[in-house]
Each structure stands twice: as C-alpha cells, then as structure tokens.
C-alpha cells in the first residue's frame, strides 16, 4: 500500500515571500504591561468594593460584597506574585 519515501518539494519554492503567520509571541515586556494593567484594575476594584462595603447598611447585600472583595484581593495577590515570578524566571532564562 505504501508508496515508500517521497521527495518533498522544498517549501521555499512553493511559498510566497510573505509570512503566512503573523502571530508573534508575548514578550516579557508585553506580558508585564498586561499584568501591570490588570494589577491597576484589580486595585481599583478592591478600592471600590471597600468603599461600597463601608457605606453598606444591609447585612444581606454586605455579605455579597464581602465575598466579592475577598475574590478581588485574592486576584490582586495572584497577579502581583505572577509579575514577580515572571521577572525572576526571565532573568534566569536560557542565554
């Protein structure tokens, strides 16, 4: 059934000069920017949640906000730790 080994056409003879694949990689710099934006956004949300909670009269609604605030604080800590982790790992990357 098998036709045995074949001799492929060298790809550069059949392709155009342009890349088909525009995809590029997340750089450390780009990832850091994304994380910095996320950290700032998370800090804003934490602050807003703290303000709402401070003004909250209803205990029932307050419980929802407490849970939300805890989640935002947890996410903030995750993001900060990720930024530190990536910085350290990049400094230790292959040379």
The answer to whether 77 contacts other proteins (rule: CB under 8 A) is no
Measured distance CA(22)–CA(39) in Å, rounded: 29
CA distance 47 to 34: 20
Does residue number 27 form part of the binding site for other proteins (CB under 8 A)?
yes
- Strand, helix or coil at 68? helix
Contacts of residue 62, defined as CB under 8 A and 6 or more positions apart, other chains included, come to 53, 56
Residues 35-64: x where in contact with other proteins by CB under 8 A, - otherwise, as a string: x--x--------------------------
From the list 79, 81, 78, 93, the residue with the least C-alpha distance to 28 is 93
- Smallest gap from Cβ 54 to other proteins, in A, equals 26
Options 47-55, 64-72, 75-83: segment touching other proteins (CB under 8 A):
75-83
The residues of the shown chain that bind other proteins, judged by CB under 8 A, are: 1-12, 14-31, 34-35, 38, 78-79, 82, 85-86, 89-95
């Amino acid at each position: 059934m098998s036709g045995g080994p074949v001799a492929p056409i060298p790809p550069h003879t059949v392709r155009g000069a342009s890349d088909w694949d525009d995809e590029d990689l997340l750089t450390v710099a780009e990832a850091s920017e994304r994380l910095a934006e996320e950290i700032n956004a998370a800090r804003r949300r934490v602050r807003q949640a703290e303000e709402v909670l401070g003004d909250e009269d209803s205990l029932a609604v307050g419980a929802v906000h407490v849970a939300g605030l805890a989640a935002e604080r947890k996410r903030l800590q995750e993001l900060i730790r990720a930024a530190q982790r990536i910085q350290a790992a990049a400094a230790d990357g292959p040379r």
